[in-house]
Amino acid sequence: MANPPEHNAETQKAQVQAQFARTAESYVTSITHKTGSDLERLVAVGEWDARQHALDVATGGGHTAFTIAPYVGQVMVTDLTPTMLQSAQTYLLAQGIKNAQFQIADAEALPFADASFDRVTNRIASHHFPNAAQSVQEAARVLKPEGIFILIDSTVPEDAELDPIVNKIEKWRDHSHGRSHTPTEWKTFFREAGLQVELEEPFRRIMHYDDWSARSQMTNEEKAALEEYILTLPTEIQNYLEVHTTEDGHLKDFSIDFTLFKTRKR
In this structure, are residues 61 and 35 in contact, taking their beta carbons and an 8 Å threshold? no
Position 8 scores a pLDDT of: 75
Residue among 178, 176, 152 at smallest CA distance from 258:
152
Q: Could you state, in order of their start, the residue ranges of all structural domains in the chain?
A: 6-158+175-204+257-265
pLDDT at 6: 45
Length of the chain: 266
Question: pLDDT at position 9, please?
Answer: 75
By 3-state DSSP, what share of the chain in percent is helix, strand and coil, each rounded to 5? 45, 25, 30
Averaged over successive runs of 10 residues, the pLDDT of the chain (266 residues) comes to: 51 61 56 74 98 97 96 98 93 96 98 98 96 98 98 97 97 94 98 98 96 91 97 98 97 98 97
CATH number assigned to the domain with residue range 6-158+175-204+257-265, chosen from the 4 options 3.40.50.970, 3.40.50.150, 1.20.120.1200, 3.90.850.10: 3.40.50.150
Task: Say what the pTM is.
Answer: 0.88
- DSSP structure string for 8-33: HHHHHHHHHHHHHHHHHHHHHH-HHH
pLDDT in tens, 118-156: 999 999 999 999 999 999 999 999 999 999 999 999 999
